[in-house]
Structure 1
Amino acid sequence: MYMYIAGQKEMQLLDQYTMETIGLPGVVLMENAGGAVVQEIVRDFPELKTTIVILAGSGNNGADGFVIARKLMDIGYPVQLWLATEQSKLTGDAKIHFNVYKKRGLPLHFFTEENIELLNSHILLADVIIDALLGTGINGEVRSPIKEIIELVNQSPKPIYAVDIPSGVNATTGEVNNIAVKASKTITFVMPKIGFFVGDGPKFIGEWKAAEISVPENLVVSLNLDLPQLLDEKVAYQALPKRDPHGHKGTFGHCLIVGGSTPYVGAPIYSAKAAFHSGVGLVSLATPETIYPIVAAQCPESLLFPLTGEIKITLPHTLDFSKFKSIAFGPGLGREINGEELLESLFSKVTTQPIVIDADGIYFFKQLIDANKKVPENVILTPHPGEMATLTGPTVAEIEKNRLQIAKEFATQHEIYLLLKGHRPILATPKGELWINPHGNDALGKGGSGDVLTGLIVSFLAQGASPLEAMQAASFYHAIAAEKLGNERSHYGITPTDVIEYIAKNL
């Protein structure tokens, strides 16, 4: 079963249905949630001398904190529980769990301005800090006294565990208005939150884990909730074209890559090498005749076709498009040529083959759709945020603030597949399905990384993957390669060639 990703409203609906329709009370869900966090703490810190400070707020997140404190003390951990609100403000299920804790006579501190130094000393002496202050309900700025408490927490070098979501991070947008807890690890409930992967969220959640608390995940389907899904290793492996041990080069497909220009000789070479190193049987490279000798020397394994002309370029008449299983258009092509005419000509020559459009090909695609030209089925666009801004009109900042919705609207409006690159890539389909890739790092922040991704996609397409499967497998393994290489070496020194070679050894 796929893992869904929820925002604030969707989680409220799931919780509400579980309590009101299924009949599982909120106090039980909180008991389960607190128990899940305790299991994680015990697993990570088995030594009972581990000193733990728990910071609890007034809402459901605070109630989880009361359960966590009680259960950890029952096991034998030394715990300091701090309530960051007035006792009179506790209501509902939170009040019930607080009263259980209080009637047990367990240690409890009430935060006031006068004892902030005592809290600070507890935080400094703690081995682990647990944030149960605000949870998923935050909308807007964090106010006092929570703001001051978070400031103290973020100064600690010790592990900080967030309950459900770091306090101060918006569960839907990932926005942090003024301050948020910088968690080492986030134990979230039922499913990850959208805010983990968009906006400021990735800077604050640390490692994350989703815990089951008896809210059925299949309610997403029965309640007809339209949620993004998580691109994980299981999904990526299922999407990866499987090898026939008795296959030959014809078995594994033939792709065409159209790209390259005098300033960008390397782009189509990266794409071709990525395609070869990820399993395709044959690669044809169509590049301008001005760079043909260089490309031929660098990529002798490819079949090469020169694009004639300097400004007005035409596709070679010798190309038989029926033999290609997939096509990539745009890597390194530049904008000085008749790219719109070239792309329209390409569209007229394909039938059902998927076409990956990247780099300056996206610029020419924009010209075609502005002119209301017909776009074939199975087109895949792979823009970075700047190219997405060119396609849609909003600024890069606006794109980054609303990545999911913009990707979905563009893909459905133009009936294309879209892979919006950047930190935490977004995959969108013509039907409005959304996937979030939670992997990747700054090691991919180099020219040529996108060309490698294009090569992977066109390769997997040629080997029989659907457009969605090709995007899933390419995006995931591209990102994982960067993570692994960055950890093994240095984020500074990873090149597109390193990524290609890693994929060749580890697919």
Structure 2
Amino acid sequence: MPLSGGHSLPEDLYSADAVREIDRYVIDQQGVNGFDLMQAAAASAFRRLVRCWPEPGRILVLCGAGNNGGDGYLVAANGVRHGLDVDCIAVAPTEKLSGDARKAWQKSVGDGVKVLELADLNDVDVRRHIASAGLIVDAMLGTGVTGAPREPFAGIISQCNEAAAPVLAIDLPSGLNATMGTVAGDAIRADATVTFIGLKAGLFTGQGPEFGGDILFESLDTDDWASESGQKPRARRVDWHSVRSALPRRPKAAHKGRFGHVLIVAGDRGFGGAGMLAAEAAARTGAGLVTLATRPEYVSAALARCPSVMVQGLIHGSELPPLISAADVIVCGPGIGQGAWGQQMLQQVVASGKLRVLDADALNLMASRVAQPADNHILTPHPGEAARLLECEVVEIEDDRVSAAGRLRQMFGGVALLKGAGTVVAAEGVLPDIISGSNPGMATGGMGDVLSGVLGSLYAQLGDAHLSASAGAALHLAAADRASETRGYMGLLPMDVIEALSEVLAESERRSGGRTARRENGEG
């Protein structure tokens, strides 16, 4: 299996149009020969190929008609020159090739690549080539395709996805929207994607993480020209590695009052576990004090589960203000329901004007009423809740997750955190953040409650809603990934993620603070 590009990837994420404009700027304004750039892309893709799969067996390269196909022909040529067993199929007729793509085809043939025309092969031949491949290179459809792939591409994509061989996608998996991360019909499910010039936003949110696999980046020495071209990123890529240094270091004279008091308002009848998960997650993420306000019948269970959390049983919203006054940040919503109890609790929280994280039923209650915008909250909807808040269909949210998060922020103020694969964080005056990575084990009840507790804890410690939202989402994912190493995906539970939070934080503390601590002790 290939190695993930991970935190070695750049931060800027671009639309497909922006990357094409950067490419045009490099060729037209900087005088870089387009075919030379294509050869550099193919050479770097081939280096990644042999690094990830040192013994690939028979390589099958599938080429389209545009520059993406040109890259593929040159990758095939690199393979032949290095003595590898390479088959190459022109899925689009070579007679339709023009410009640099045609030059690439001609060079590959000149270098000894035997290019087979798809039109000359019957279905049995095609299936045989795909089934016998040790590695498939997808160079069929590039960033210019926005709708569902047509035949013959659709059929080839389906056969590749059914094959046992791993797939390396060139620049973008065929069928994936490079800007939005959507898939209109079907798309190549790549094990790895080597992408060029600029990272495409669609690889990191929506269905991008599902189809792109491990993302490998090659700038082709155009880094400086990307900014000179005038093209602006669509979003910023964030992972735990990039934000973990923002967490406050704990001085040796620290006391609990320095790290915030988080109030968790959660857990109407039938949903007591939601509050316990959020409260324990807040405690595990470093909050100095955590109080859980929940139904009285859950007090004993909550204390048994996490005795470091203070727990108060409330029957009516009028009992909440004293707890609110003592808190720095309030997390409201997990399991509060949409009945009278939850309504009373949310009313008190909103009326207080305190920093707050609103999740789950707090968002559903907001959607059913005219909500007033505020600058001091973090909203954490999943796509269904986001659709209710924006009064649209879920498909509209998923069709453009970055824009949907921006609309949520514009309508309701504060920071909007749109959950899902490639979580999007939108705040005023800055690029949206896309949290890099995904974890299918998180698709189970209670994971959002854990995230709410993490966000509340970081908000109390940092006081910055945007930073807290992005760092919290990245930490939550990193903990889930850590827990999955031993638990797998199918059996992953929210409690496993809570336990892994302390492991991830401990590792970050060792990386950032170990030497300083030793120097303070006179050891170094």
TM-score normalised to the size of structure 1? Answer: 0.90
Which residue is equivalent to 2:426? 428
Cα separation, 2, equivalents of 1:440 and 1:203:
8
Contact 2:207 2:421 in 1 (8 A): no
Task: Supply the AA of the counterpart residue of 2:179.
Answer: T
Task: Supply the AA of the counterpart residue of 2:87.
Answer: Q
Which residue is equivalent to 2:128? 121
Q: Residue 5 of structure 1: SS of its match in structure 2?
A: strand
1:101 CA displacement: 2.6
Task: Specify whether residues 87 and 267 from structure 1 end up closer, same or farther in structure 2 by C-alpha distance, changes over 3 A only.
Answer: closer
Which residue is equivalent to 1:401? 399
1:425 CA displacement: 1.6
Task: Supply the AA of the counterpart residue of 1:13.
Answer: E
Task: Supply the AA of the counterpart residue of 1:416.
Answer: G
Which residue is equivalent to 1:359? 360
Deviation string for 1:201-226 (max 9, x for gaps)?
A: 33322222122223326735862525
- Name the stretch that deviates more: 396-405 or 299-308: 299-308
Cα separation, 2, equivalents of 1:116 and 1:377:
59
Q: Does 1:346 align with 2:349?
A: yes
Q: Residue 169 of structure 2: SS of its match in structure 1?
A: strand
Aligned length: 497
Which residue is equivalent to 1:314? 318
Contact 1:439 1:483 in 2 (8 A): no
Share of identical aligned residues, percent? 32
1:446 CA displacement: 2.3
Which residue is equivalent to 2:267? 260
Contact 1:154 1:182 in 2 (8 A): yes
Which residue is equivalent to 2:104? 97
Which residue is equivalent to 2:340? 337
1:451 CA displacement: 1.0
Task: Supply the AA of the counterpart residue of 1:380.
Answer: I
Deviation string for 1:469-502 (max 9, x for gaps)?
A: 2112221221222233234223222221111111
Which residue is equivalent to 1:84? 91
1:105 CA displacement: 4.4
Contact 1:239 1:472 in 2 (8 A): no
Q: Does 1:203 align with 2:210?
A: yes
Cα separation, 2, equivalents of 1:408 and 1:103:
51
Q: Residue 13 of structure 1: SS of its match in structure 2?
A: helix
Which residue is equivalent to 1:377? 375
Contact 2:259 2:288 in 1 (8 A): yes
Q: Residue 208 of structure 1: SS of its match in structure 2?
A: strand
Deviation string for 1:399-435 (max 9, x for gaps)?
A: 2223221111121233220111123322111336312
1:274 CA displacement: 0.5
Which residue is equivalent to 2:174? 167
Cα separation, 1, equivalents of 2:181 and 2:324:
48
Contact 1:240 1:470 in 2 (8 A): no
Which residue is equivalent to 1:391? 389
1:152 CA displacement: 3.5
Cα separation, 2, equivalents of 1:333 and 1:160:
45
Cα separation, 2, equivalents of 1:263 and 1:107:
66
1:132 CA displacement: 0.9
Note the 1:232-251 alignment, pairs <5 A.
232-251=239-258
1:394 CA displacement: 0.9
Contact 2:182 2:398 in 1 (8 A): no
- Name the stretch that deviates more: 384-393 or 133-142: 133-142
Which residue is equivalent to 1:462? 460
CA RMSD of aligned residues (A): 2.5
Q: Does 1:23 align with 2:21?
A: no
Cα separation, 2, equivalents of 1:115 and 1:263:
60
1:459 CA displacement: 0.7
1:379 CA displacement: 0.8
Cα separation, 1, equivalents of 2:290 and 2:397:
34
Q: Residue 82 of structure 1: SS of its match in structure 2?
A: strand
1:119 CA displacement: 4.0
- Name the stretch that deviates more: 482-491 or 272-281: 482-491
Contact 1:59 1:94 in 2 (8 A): yes
Contact 2:414 2:465 in 1 (8 A): no
Deviation string for 1:360-396 (max 9, x for gaps)?
A: 111333456x16x4x4422101111221122111122
Which structure 2 segments of 5+ residues have no match? 1-8, 506-524
Task: Specify whether residues 92 and 264 from structure 1 end up closer, same or farther in structure 2 by C-alpha distance, changes over 3 A only.
Answer: same
Structure with more of its chain in helix, by fraction: 2
1:30 CA displacement: 0.9
Q: Does 1:286 align with 2:293?
A: yes
1:356 CA displacement: 0.5
1:116 CA displacement: 4.7
Contact 1:343 1:365 in 2 (8 A): no
Task: Specify whether residues 22 and 503 from structure 1 end up closer, same or farther in structure 2 by C-alpha distance, changes over 3 A only.
Answer: same
Q: Does 1:44 align with 2:48?
A: no
Task: Supply the AA of the counterpart residue of 1:410.
Answer: L
Which residue is equivalent to 1:414? 412
Q: Residue 109 of structure 2: SS of its match in structure 1?
A: helix
Cα separation, 2, equivalents of 1:80 and 1:442:
34
1:303 CA displacement: 2.8
Q: Residue 257 of structure 2: SS of its match in structure 1?
A: coil
Task: Specify whether residues 103 and 315 from structure 1 end up closer, same or farther in structure 2 by C-alpha distance, changes over 3 A only.
Answer: same
Note the 1:46-195 alignment, pairs <5 A.
46-47=54-55, 50-195=57-202
Contact 1:235 1:472 in 2 (8 A): no
Task: Specify whether residues 2 and 415 from structure 1 end up closer, same or farther in structure 2 by C-alpha distance, changes over 3 A only.
Answer: farther
Which structure 1 segments of 5+ residues have no match? none
Task: Supply the AA of the counterpart residue of 1:361.
Answer: A
Task: Specify whether residues 317 and 473 from structure 1 end up closer, same or farther in structure 2 by C-alpha distance, changes over 3 A only.
Answer: closer
Cα separation, 2, equivalents of 1:290 and 1:489:
31
